[in-house]
Amino acid sequence: MPATRAPRVPAEERLFSLVLALLSTESGLTKAEILANVQGYRQRFTPGGDNASLERQFERDKDDVRELGIPLETIETPGAAGNNQTLRYRIPKGEYDLPLDVRFTPDESALLSLAAMAWREGALSADSRRALLKVRSAGTDDSAADDTGADDVEDPRGMAAYAPRLRTRDAAFEPLRSALDRAAAVRFDYITPGEHEPRQRDVAPLALVQHGGRWMLCAHEFSTGGTKNYLLSRIVGPVTTHHPGQHPAPAGAGERALAELDRIWAERTARIAVQPGSDAERRLQRRRGTEVDGGGVLVVHHVDPQILAEELAAFGPEVRVLEPAALREQVAARLRGLVADHTDPEETARG
């Protein structure tokens, strides 16, 4: 009799359950405890078996949690320094609490949940995901945690009951996943960074991967014969089946795509001056791999300069890009565009 396939748990539900579990412990949880008990991991965990791929998933999830600005701590067990298997993980609740003057009534919490459900077929920004995680995790106090069993990591059904119904994937995710399952080629319109009009792409999907909190498609492009990564948020319009025949993805395509993205991430850095004590300093310092250069300058790793430019522009005067010059110009262009969008031409002419 074939083994029953573990139910698929969406990535955002797995991340939320991980955050909830790490908030609910003072002493921290080991990797083994997390994999065996937390929603999204326990379904694929094999006691005493080979869990290497699941451990790699946990390592990527840790990076995604930190990318969202959540302060995930690593604690070494006394007498076992350097032993990764005994490391304990936790999120200090005091650093992740909402401000004391921000509280929600039951009705307001219900409305926030409804708003999250309304977004479940669309895509949320990193800031929106961070806010929803924080608002939802605030509910682990008092009766909210007791009602769900969230304080007890040994009760996986409690965590499953508390997992959100939010879907943070882009609209292209489901048709691309379906195409992967059917080994079908697809066609879609894609906006390349720096261009204003989309271009049609015909590709054979190889893998859907999440890197840095964003979904990407690794695919074989028929026109060039090469393998490329496409950010799902830049796919516009419908994804349709195209190019007859079967195009099965080779084994290990997802892992190879993630390894290539990690290589690009390691090579691409930006030197950014931040205002001391600012929100930009706190968030950027918590990004995976960020280093502090001389004079308080941050060295930030990234994969996509356009995405980083959008994030930096949102911080306004709190950041100043020192290098590379191309990234500095991209941030400046976004800020100029923002000013133009909020400037009345008639007022400017009269001035």
- Which ranges of the chain does DSSP label H, i.e. alpha helix? 11-23, 31-37, 52-67, 93-96, 106-118, 126-137, 142-148, 156-162, 173-182, 253-267, 279-285, 305-313, 325-341, 345-350
- The band of 186, judged by pLDDT with boundaries at 50, 70 and 90, is very high
Task: Say if residue 45's pLDDT is above 50.
Answer: yes
Q: Which of 115-119, 142-146, 171-175, 268-272 tops mean pLDDT?
A: 268-272
Largest pairwise CA distance in the chain: 80
Is pLDDT above 90 for 188?
yes
| Average pLDDT score over the chain | 77
Q: Read off the pLDDT band of 201 (50, 70, 90).
A: very high
* Model pLDDT, residue 166: 37
pLDDT at 123: 39
Q: Can you give the pLDDT at residue 165?
A: 36
Cis peptide before 92 (omega within 30 of 0): no
Query: How far is residue 243's CA from residue 255's CA, in Å, rounded to a whole number?
Result: 26
Beta bridge partners of 227: 220
Asked whether residue 315 carries a pLDDT value surpassing 70, the answer given is: yes
Q: What is the mean pLDDT of residues 263-289?
A: 90
The tokens for 84 are: 């990764």
Do residues 272 and 328 make contact, with C-beta atoms less than 8 angstroms apart?
no
- Is pLDDT larger for residue 42 or for residue 150? 42
Q: Which two tokens stand for residue 273?
A: 């001056």
Residue 173 has pLDDT above 70, yes or no: yes
Structure-block tokens of residue 41: 């991991």
User: pTM score > 0.75 for this model?
Assistant: no
| CA distance linking residue 237 with residue 188, whole number of Å | 7
pLDDT at 126 over 90: no
Place of tokens 């990527």: 60
Domains in the chain: ranges and CATH: 11-162 (no CATH), 173-260 (2.30.30), 268-341 (3.30.70)
Q: How far apart are CA 36 and CA 39, in angstroms?
A: 9
What does 294-338 look like in DSSP terms, one character per residue?
GGG-EEEE-S-HHHHHHHHHTTGGGEEEEE-HHHHHHHHHHHHHH
Tell me the torsion sign for CA atoms 225, 230, 236, 237: positive
Q: Please state, in angstroms and rounded to a whole number, the distance separating the CA atoms of residues 200 and 189.
A: 4
Is the sign of the CA dihedral 104, 108, 110, 112 positive or negative?
A: negative
Is the confidence at residue 271, as pLDDT, over 90? yes
More confident: 100 or 303: 303
Q: What percent of the chain has pLDDT over 90?
A: 23
Which of these ranges, 34-38, 138-142, 270-274, has the smallest mean pLDDT? 138-142
What pLDDT, in 10s, does the model give residues 59-96? 888 888 887 778 888 888 776 666 677 789 988 866 66
pLDDT on residue 328: 94
Q: What is the DSSP string of 43-90?
A: TT--TTS--HHHHHHHHHHHHHHHHTT---EEEPPTT-TT-GGG-EEE
Q: Give percent of the chain above pLDDT 70.
A: 71
pLDDT band at 322 (very low <50, low <70, confident <90, very high): very high
Q: Provide mean pLDDT across the span 18-29.
A: 84
Of the candidates 12, 34, 35, 14, which has an alpha carbon nearest to the alpha carbon of residue 25?
34
> What's the average model confidence in pLDDT over 146-169?
36
Average pLDDT over residues 132-152: 42
Nearest to 15 by CA among 87, 66, 51: 66
Q: Given a cut of 50, is residue 238 above it in pLDDT?
A: yes
Q: Indicate whether 295 pLDDT > 70.
A: yes
Mean pLDDT (whole number) for 131-146:
46
Find tokens 């054979």 and name the residue.
204
What is the pLDDT, as a whole number, of residue 302? 92
350, pLDDT greater than 80 = no
Whose CA is closest to 172, among 187, 162, 183?
A: 187
Please, how many CA atoms are within 13 Å of residue 183, restricted to the half-sphere of its CB?
Answer: 7
In 3D space, the residue among 269, 300, 305 whose CA is nearest the CA of residue 194 turns out to be 305
